[in-house]
Amino acid sequence: MEETKDYSHIKGWGIDIDPENEPTYPIKKYTGDDHAQSRWERPSLQPIDVEVLHSNERPNVSAVFGNTLPPKGLSGAIRRFAFRYSENRYRHWLPLILADRIDMVEGLIEDLRRGHVPNILAEKGYKAEWKYNQRGVIKKAVAAAAVAAYLVLLLKRGRK
């Protein structure tokens, strides 16, 4: 990309240009394409056949994208809200984290609705934990049992 604008009205313009000063090399091979900004010839575009949320820091959906999990349910509504704000805002990221937690509950409900009771201990890899860290598992189980027993005790006392 050649610089075509005229800067002759600016005293000293370009006098200190040092082509050797290229600290981004070799990570970036500077070609000058940057000055054309976003005006490159785009690849073919993947047809947009599902709802794709796109960052409002860009004008369009990128030429390719993942399409298997479009936003849905309450988590989806929160995600849509989040995408009204730029990546610069907590209003973007915090709702997204909240949506992730809600998505987890929605995922559980969906599992149950499809008649699948998830084996959460298996999903968490407790088989491996038991095989390689029995002590840790026992410790955790004992701690959990102690807390449960304490709660039961509290409840009983409360009733008296």
Pick 87 or 148: Cβ nearer other proteins: 87
Distance, in Å, from the CA atom of 151 to the CA atom of 16, rounded to the nearest integer, reads 74
Pick 140 or 146: Cβ nearer other proteins: 140
**Residue 158 CB, nearest distance to other proteins (Å)?**
31
Distance, in Å, from the CA atom of 48 to the CA atom of 63, rounded to the nearest integer, reads 10
**Residue 23 CB, nearest distance to other proteins (Å)?**
7
Pick 108 or 153: Cβ nearer other proteins: 108
Pick 100 or 153: Cβ nearer other proteins: 100
Quick check: 75 and 102 in contact, CB under 8 A?
yes
Pick 139 or 150: Cβ nearer other proteins: 139
Quick check: 84 and 77 in contact, CB under 8 A?
no
**Residue 10 CB, nearest distance to other proteins (Å)?**
26
Distance, in Å, from the CA atom of 106 to the CA atom of 16, rounded to the nearest integer, reads 60
**Residue 77 CB, nearest distance to other proteins (Å)?**
14
List of residues contacting other proteins (CB under 8 A)? 23, 26-31, 33-34, 36-38, 40-47, 52-55, 57-58, 60-69, 75, 79, 83, 87, 90, 93, 96-97, 99-101, 103-104, 106-108, 111, 118, 120, 122-129, 131-133
Name the region of 32 (left: φ>0; alpha: ψ -120 to 50; beta: rest): left
**Residue 156 CB, nearest distance to other proteins (Å)?**
33
**CB-side neighbour CA atoms (13 Å) of 112:** 7
Question: Can you state the angle between helices 73-82 and 90-113, rounded to 10 degrees?
Answer: 170
